[in-house]
Structures are given as structure tokens and as C-alpha cells.
Amino acid sequence: MAIAKRCALIIFVVVLAGLQAACCMFYKRPDMELEAASASISDSKEVCSDIYASDTYQEAQRKLNEARTAADNKEKNAKDLAIEAKALAERAKEEAIGRGDNARAVAERNLSDADGLLSDIADSLNGLGDDEGAAPFMARLSSLRGMATRVRSQIDGPGCDLLLAENGSMSLLSGAKELLADVENYASSVAAAPKSIEHSVVRGECLWRIAGYADTYSDPFLWPLIYSANRDQIKDPDLIFPGQVFEIPLDVTEGDKGQARHEASTRGVWSLYDGR
């Protein structure tokens, strides 16, 4: 009885091995489906799905690797895995196209808005003329213009740069809004600042000394500005008198200052004060 059972078991094992061998012999590797999945993944990468739809793209890659492993092991589900990988790749392509188009639209809109703001900023800075305080704003404007150029090149360049363009355009627009607000605040403060101040001459003063005061020009070489503004009172710049009230212009340009310094440099330090 035991011998009969053992023989039956051996026959079962032999038959099972034969069936497995037969299955392997007649197994058809899904090469067509594997190639189609691989082609779809490559096609989706052409529209930057590895960037714009990275999760779906990576899942398609993973499924294709599973399909190849299953095919190598002659597993029945290899074909289904390859078909699933192809479907994922096609979905990744659709997602990437949609995400890229949206990024382009956002970047172009932000760039257009920022260009308008940069133009307004330039106009406001031009309105400040030679004001020394405008220099930092000009530097920031130049930096933003450089950023705008980069964003524009990313929009017009390879499609995979559209996310960079979108993010860059948002930073650009935010920076332009901030700079415009700063320039407008500064322009308002300049407009509100006094255009001139009055100074009452006291004994011992001269134009050189008055121009050097902190509340005037902090530069004695700018005394010709005071002289020019008060020619009706000053007949000789060497002679001023206690009690005279001079108007000290504050809204002078760098050109005016340069001309004044040139004139003053030929005179030297004053030796005559109030003449009394």
C-alpha cells in the first residue's frame, strides 16, 4: 500500500513538471506590448512628463520594469503589466502637456504684468531726475529687468523650463510690485521735503562756513549755490552781514553741485566773514 502511494506521488510530480515544462515551451513573451510601453514612456518624456507629471511617469517606469521582470520569469501577467505601463505613460503625457500649458500661461501673464510695472517704475525714477536717493532703486530695477529677460528666455526656450518660468515670473511680479511701492513712497517723501530753508547770518559766518553746515549741504565747496540764490542781497560773496536772511536751495541737481564745486575750488577758504 505504501509503495503504491509513493508511486502515485512520483507520477504526480513527474506529470506536474511535464506540464510546467510544456507551459514554458509554449510561453509567448509579450515583446510587442513591452516595446509599445517603452515607446510610450519615451514619447511622454519628450513633453517633459518626467518633470511636469513625475509621479505618473515614475509609476509607468516601475510598471514597465515589473513587466520586463515578469516576462523574463515567463509569468502570465507580464503582458497585462506592459499594457498598464503604456496606459500610465499616455496619462503622464496628457498631464505634462496640461501642466506645461498652464505654466506657460501663468508665466506669460505674470511677465506681461511685470513689464508694465517696470515701465511705471522707470517713469517714476526718471521723474526724480538726478536725485542721489534714486540710485538703489535703479540697481533693483536693473536686477528685475535681468530676471524678466531670463523668464522670457525660459518661456521661449525648451519646454521643460516652463516650471522655472512660472516660478521666476511670480518672483519677478512680486519684486516689481514691491519696488514700485518703495519708489512711490520715496518720491512722495521727496515731494514733501522742503525745497529750501532759511538761514539767518550771525557774526563770524561766511558762505563757505554756512554751506558746510549739516542742515545745509555738509560741503563748504557748495557755497556758490547760496550766492546764486541770494544775489539780490549779496553784492560781493566775500562780504555778508549779521542779520541777513538767506534762502538755501535744497532741490539742486548733481550738475548744479558739480558746477558749484568747480567754481569754489578756484577760490579757496574764505578769509573775510561779515566785514565788520
* pLDDT reported for residue 73: 93
Which has more pLDDT, 4 or 216?
A: 216
* pLDDT reported for residue 19: 47
pLDDT per residue over 169-180, tens digit each? 999 999 999 999
pLDDT per residue over 191-215, tens digit each? 887 888 999 999 999 999 999 999 9
Record: fold of 196-264 = Membrane-bound Lytic Murein Transglycosylase D; Chain A (3.10.350)
* pLDDT reported for residue 110: 98
Mean pLDDT of 25-39: 89
pLDDT per residue over 243-262, tens digit each? 999 999 988 888 889 999 99
For residue 213, the number of C-alpha atoms closer than 13 Å in the C-beta half-sphere is 16
Cα–Cα distance for residue pair 121/119, rounded to 1 Å: 5
For residue 28, the number of C-alpha atoms closer than 13 Å in the C-beta half-sphere is 4
Cβ partners under 8 Å of residue 255, min gap 6: 130
pLDDT at 121 over 70: yes
pLDDT band at 97 (very low <50, low <70, confident <90, very high): very high
pLDDT per residue over 138-153, tens digit each? 999 999 999 999 999 9
pLDDT at 13 over 60: no
* pLDDT reported for residue 14: 53
Residue 146: count other Cβ atoms within 10 Å of its Cβ. 11
Cα–Cα distance for residue pair 205/227, rounded to 1 Å: 14
Cα–Cα distance for residue pair 267/46, rounded to 1 Å: 75
* pLDDT reported for residue 31: 93
Cα–Cα distance for residue pair 222/267, rounded to 1 Å: 12
Cβ partners under 8 Å of residue 165, min gap 6: 103, 104, 107, 151, 154, 155
Nearest to 205 by CA among 257, 270, 265, 261: 270
Instruction: Determine whether 78 is exposed, middle or buried from the number of CB atoms within 10 Å of its CB (0-12, 13-18, 19+).
Output: buried
* pLDDT reported for residue 15: 53
Which has more pLDDT, 64 or 16?
A: 64
Q: Cell 550771525 appears where?
A: 202
pLDDT at 35 over 80: yes
Extents of the domains making up the chain: 28-97, 99-192, 196-264
AA identity, residue 88: L
* pLDDT reported for residue 9: 60
